[in-house]
């Protein structure tokens, strides 16, 4: 199964991607996670990317496409993959199509997790992450058994640098300008399925699951 999860920041792409990747045994490829890893390691790429990320802007297409091309060469992507946060521009989507066509492995589905902006500002500014295992929390709806600490490994939760309100609003604007055109792009190819992502995690997951089962049967 080869999938793309599309949607604004905070729509729940990361959460749903982890669930789908486990259930269908495909590689979860998050360009945001890959970039944050580079930032943490203080590599040249990471230092370049951080200035874009902290300003709520997109990292240039070429940087992202080189990273994805290399990632797809890894053996674990042969069993299938799920892109989370990629593609984010029409040129990225076109390059991805070209890459996959060349390999004779087109996408099976693109799932749009759709939510209104007001909802997202709350979700993102109250979001917290485990620095050890990457699990995602929310200070009101999912604070952890001991609030502020990860249920899996006890690590103190942290807030992503780009989850403050000013940067969140900028990221949403960038989404509408540069990423939302992908909705039409994939609608035209007949690959798009839309899911209401303002519902709770389990319900979204169920809807996505039914959708993927239908696709698998085709």
Distance of closest approach, residue 30 Cβ to ligand AMP, in angstroms: 6
Distance of closest approach, residue 22 Cβ to ligand AMP, in angstroms: 19
Asked if residues 161 and 124 have their Cβ atoms less than 8 Å apart, the reply is no
Distance of closest approach, residue 10 Cβ to ligand AMP, in angstroms: 8
Q: Give the tokens for residue 138.
A: 């929310």
Q: Which residues of the chain form contacts with ligand AMP (CB under 6 A)? A: 9, 31-32, 35, 52-53, 57-59, 64, 85-88, 92, 162, 171
**Among this protein's residues, is 13 annotated catalytic?**
yes
**Among this protein's residues, is 127 annotated catalytic?**
yes
Asked if residues 185 and 87 have their Cβ atoms less than 8 Å apart, the reply is no
Q: Which of 71, 105, 160, 169 is catalytic?
A: 160
Which helix or strand (DSSP H or E) is residue 102 part of? helix 90-102
Place of tokens 């990221």: 171
Distance of closest approach, residue 60 Cβ to ligand AMP, in angstroms: 7
CB closer to ligand AMP, 18 vs 57: 57
Residue 200: phi, psi to the nearest 5? Answer: -75, 160
CB closer to ligand AMP, 163 vs 204: 163
Q: Which of 13, 36, 123, 128 is catalytic?
A: 13
Which helix or strand (DSSP H or E) is residue 152 part of? none
Asked if residues 158 and 149 have their Cβ atoms less than 8 Å apart, the reply is no
The catalytic site residues sit at: 13, 88, 127, 160, 171
């Amino acid at each position: 199964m080869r999938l793309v999860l599309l949607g604004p920041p905070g729509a729940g792409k990361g959460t749903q991607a982890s669930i789908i990747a486990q259930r269908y045994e495909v590689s979860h490829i998050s360009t945001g996670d890959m970039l944050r890893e580079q930032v943490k390691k203080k590599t040249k790429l990471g230092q370049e990317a951080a200035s874009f990320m902290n300003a709520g802007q997109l990292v240039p297409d070429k940087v992202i496409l080189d990273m994805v091309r290399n990632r797809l060469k890894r053996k674990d992507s042969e069993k299938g993959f799920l892109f989370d946060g990629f593609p984010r521009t029409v040129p990225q989507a076109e390059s991805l199509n070209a890459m996959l066509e060349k390999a004779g492995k087109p996408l099976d589905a693109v799932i749009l997790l759709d939510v209104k902006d007001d909802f997202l500002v709350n979700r993102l500014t109250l979001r917290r992450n485990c620095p050890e295992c990457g699990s995602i929390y929310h200070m009101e709806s999912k604070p952890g058994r001991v609030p502020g600490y990860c249920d899996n490994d006890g690590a103190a939760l942290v807030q992503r640098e780009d989850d403050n309100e000013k940067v969140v609003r900028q990221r949403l604007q960038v989404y509408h300008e540069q990423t939302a055109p992908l909705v039409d792009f994939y609608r035209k190819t007949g690959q798009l399925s839309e899911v209401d992502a303002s519902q709770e995690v389990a319900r979204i997951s169920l809807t996505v699951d039914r959708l993927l089962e239908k696709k698998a049967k085709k």
